[in-house]
């Protein structure tokens, strides 16, 4: 059985037309693709900056002003950048798994544990008045 063209009057497509379509497709593929930076690159960049103690103190202060959960996550980032969680846990006398749990957004560390972690990182806490209004 012979097959017939669907549109016998149009004939076969020319090779030239097929080549032109192929070249257009290739030129679309050859355009430079702008990639957005993945989150891992940003995290690596942050870890690099957190190796500076001055930057760490400002970073943690800003996180502390935001919320307790933000502060704990920021402290985990500082801990990873400074010493690594395993080494920090050993120096602070805390179980590594408990340290991860403590430094999560929903963590609830005891004050003495938090103090030990900050001391192992090489940071100390200072307090200042909430308002500049003189006492009456």
Q: What is the pLDDT along the chain (136 residues), one digit of tens a residue?
A: 676 666 666 665 566 666 777 777 766 666 565 555 556 778 788 888 888 888 999 999 999 999 989 999 999 999 989 888 999 999 999 999 999 999 888 889 999 999 999 999 988 888 888 777 766 6
φ, ψ (nearest 5 deg) of residue 116? -65, -40
Please report the pLDDT score of residue 124 as a whole number. Answer: 87
- Between helices 85-92 and 111-121, what is the axis angle to 10°? 120
pLDDT of residue 83: 87
Q: Report the alpha-carbon distance of residue 115 to residue 63 in Å, rounded.
A: 17
Q: Which of 78, 79, 73 is nearest to 91 (CA)?
A: 79
**CB atoms < 10 A from the CB of 66, how many?**
12
Can you give the pTM of this predicted structure? 0.64
Per-residue model confidence as pLDDT tens digits over 6-32: 666 666 556 666 677 777 776 666 656
Q: What is the DSSP letter of 125?
A: -
């Amino acid at each position: 059985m012979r097959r017939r063209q669907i549109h016998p009057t149009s004939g076969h497509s020319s090779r030239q037309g097929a080549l032109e379509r192929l070249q257009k497709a290739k030129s679309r593929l050859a355009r430079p693709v702008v990639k957005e930076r993945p989150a891992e690159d940003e995290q690596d960049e942050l870890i690099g900056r957190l190796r500076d103690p001055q930057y760490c103190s400002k970073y943690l202060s800003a996180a502390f002003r935001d919320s307790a959960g933000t502060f704990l996550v920021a402290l985990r980032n500082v801990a990873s950048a400074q010493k690594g969680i395993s080494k920090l846990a050993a120096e602070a006398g805390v179980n590594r798994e408990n340290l991860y749990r403590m430094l999560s957004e929903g963590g609830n560390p005891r004050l003495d544990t938090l103090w030990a972690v900050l001391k192992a990182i090489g940071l100390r806490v200072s307090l200042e008045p909430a308002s500049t209004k003189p006492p009456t």
